[in-house]
Amino acid sequence: MGFIRVMGIVPLGIGLTVLGFLWLTPFNEFGSPPLFFRVFGSFIALAFVLQGGAMVYGRLPMNAEALRKAMDLVRQGGPPTEPGTGVGASQGAAGYRCPNCGASIAEGADVSPSGDVKCDHCRRWFNIHRQG
C-alpha cells in the first residue's frame, strides 16, 4: 500500500516542476513561454499536481483486513464454471444439430444473420430457425 503513495511523488513532482518552469521564467525574454502557453500548461500541470497529491495524501480505499474479507467472499463463491456450462449454454451453436446428418454444429461456426449455417460434417446448408 505504501508503494502507491511513493508513486504519487512522480506526478506531483512533474506538475510542480512544470508550474515552476512556466511561471518562474522571466516574461519577455528569449525562450520564455508566451502567456497562452503558461495558462494552458498550468491547467495540465494542475491535473498532475492534483493526481499526485491525491495519491500521496489521499486515504487508500482498502486496508489489509478489508482486502482479506473481499478475498474470502470471492472464495466462498465456489469454483468458476466451465465454458459452455453457464447460463445460455444451450442457446449456443453447440446446441444445434444438422437436420441432414445429426452432427452438432461446431462452437465457432459462422451463422448468417438470417440463420443459415453450413454443416462441417455433410457440407449441406440448413437454417437454424426452421428446425422443428
Number of domains in the chain: 2
pLDDT digits (tens, 9 = 90+) for 92-115: 455 788 888 888 887 778 888 888
Between 132 and 45, residue with greater pLDDT? 45
Would residue 72 count as lying in a domain? no
Domain residues for 100?
95-130
> Is there a domain that residue 17 lies in?
yes
Q: Tell me if 80 is assigned to some domain.
A: no
Residue 88 falls inside a structural domain: no
| 25 belongs to a structural domain | yes
Q: Which of 101, 96, 102, 132 minimizes the C-alpha distance to 117?
A: 96
Residue 85 falls within a domain, yes or no?
no
* Arithmetic mean of pLDDT over the chain: 80
Domain boundary among 57, 73, 103: 57
Residue type, 86: G
| Alpha helix stretches (DSSP H) within 25-112 | 35-57, 64-76
